[in-house]
Structure 1
């Protein structure tokens, strides 16, 4: 049974955005994040190993693993086959939106302006990733968009840091934020990942 995207967004204040090069690193990273209290994990489809990483992380108890950087229906199908339980995209197309709705997969499409949001609403979507959050105008831009779209809720991603996350989370229209600061690329330090996850989980 797929959870609604709202439930996933409310599970933890921060969704780690993961770029993982080595499948062998997948489980240690996921276990460290879950141990720190972050259970919703977004694995970006930016590396050749991404689908294998999703499959590995999906086996970690307590982890809710999704795929990020999903650009089309083919990406969506491959990610779901690997075990992804939700889908995140940097943008929104009718084709991808319809594919996600048809498959009943929790879907967080990227929006950056009012036109993007209205296109999502036309498809019946009302939960979005605000991306790229800082480059698209930051918190000021999100607050301006939240005005005319009172029922919309966001997961801002892109340029958010450990220092700025709390400011974003204080905005009523924001349910969670996405961040790559929790797991930097490079050698895996599980103790550091767990510490960063604990700090992030405490931001709500």
Structure 2
């Protein structure tokens, strides 16, 4: 049975719920609840809704209210205002594609778990200096793929990652086999076209396959 994640849950709790976190772009807020239910029916209990469309904040609010078993995160957070709006809408966690000192300060102020993006050792060192121990490796494939993340694991042994970008159902197990990977982000589970078509059964099937992935 799915359980509601406590709002003060740590990143470890969030990132180990499932092997894959669906990364989703929603064009219509009305699709939010059926999408969340389709993912839940497939066995996935987290979602990253990117703040790339006007519908995103309303979609987060609807999922947080109607499907509390899903931990709904706000992705593509680029500013303090977006972080604040996402928290107000009911987001459980925040995800960024990269990180600056100003953005990291803003994320910290919101007192929600957050996953900052990084692609290089220098960016990772900046996160490490702030005491952060979790990051989104993005764009995962374009930034060097598995060899790059494996190499980063040597000097940053305490860091744990959610690689995102270019990963699919075929390559996900190889990423999950890395000792420093807790989960992966996956846009293949619920594509923009599938959502527009209302292909909820197909999305549930893809979610079920993703939930079954293990290192």
Q: TM-score range by the shorter chain?
A: over 0.9
**Residues 87 and 110 of structure 2 are in contact (CA less than 8 Å); yes or no, is this contact kept in structure 1?**
no
User: In the alignment, is residue 28 of structure 1 matched against residue 34 of structure 2?
Assistant: yes
Partner of 1:202: 212
**Residues 153 and 180 of structure 2 are in contact (CA less than 8 Å); yes or no, is this contact kept in structure 1?**
yes
User: In the alignment, is residue 70 of structure 1 matched against residue 77 of structure 2?
Assistant: yes
Partner of 1:11: 17
- Residues 30-45 of structure 1 correspond to what in structure 2 (within 5 A)? 30-45=36-51
My pick for the range that moved more, 117-126 or 194-203, is: 117-126
User: In the alignment, is residue 53 of structure 1 matched against residue 63 of structure 2?
Assistant: no
- Give deviations 1:109-156, integer Å, cap 9, x for gaps: 001011111111122211000000000010011001111101100000
Q: In structure 1, what is the Cα distance between the partners aligned to 2:137 and 2:199? A: 29
User: In the alignment, is residue 136 of structure 1 matched against residue 143 of structure 2?
Assistant: yes
Q: In structure 2, what is the Cα distance between the partners aligned to 1:9 and 1:65? A: 12
The count of residues paired between Structure 1 and Structure 2 equals: 204
Q: In structure 2, what is the Cα distance between the partners aligned to 1:61 and 1:98? A: 28
Query: Which secondary structure state, in structure 2, belongs to the residue aligned with residue 98 of structure 1?
Result: helix
**Residues 26 and 53 of structure 1 are in contact (CA less than 8 Å); yes or no, is this contact kept in structure 2?**
yes
Q: In structure 1, what is the Cα distance between the partners aligned to 2:69 and 2:168? A: 25
**Residues 36 and 201 of structure 1 are in contact (CA less than 8 Å); yes or no, is this contact kept in structure 2?**
yes
**Residues 45 and 70 of structure 1 are in contact (CA less than 8 Å); yes or no, is this contact kept in structure 2?**
yes
- Residues 115-134 of structure 1 correspond to what in structure 2 (within 5 A)? 115-134=122-141
Q: In the TM superposition, what is the alpha-carbon distance from 1:102 to its structure 2 partner?
A: 2.5
**Residues 40 and 66 of structure 1 are in contact (CA less than 8 Å); yes or no, is this contact kept in structure 2?**
yes
Q: Which runs of 5+ in 2 are unaligned?
A: 1-6
**Root-mean-square deviation (CA), in Å?**
0.9
Partner of 1:170: 177
Query: Which secondary structure state, in structure 2, belongs to the residue aligned with residue 156 of structure 1?
Result: coil
TM-score when normalising by structure 1: 0.98
Q: In structure 2, what is the Cα distance between the partners aligned to 1:189 and 1:114? A: 40
**Residues 54 and 84 of structure 1 are in contact (CA less than 8 Å); yes or no, is this contact kept in structure 2?**
yes
Hey, which bits of structure 1, 4+ residues long, moved more than 2 A? Answer: none
Q: In the TM superposition, what is the alpha-carbon distance from 1:188 to its structure 2 partner?
A: 2.1
- Give deviations 1:19-70, integer Å, cap 9, x for gaps: 0101111100000001111111100001111101111111214110010000
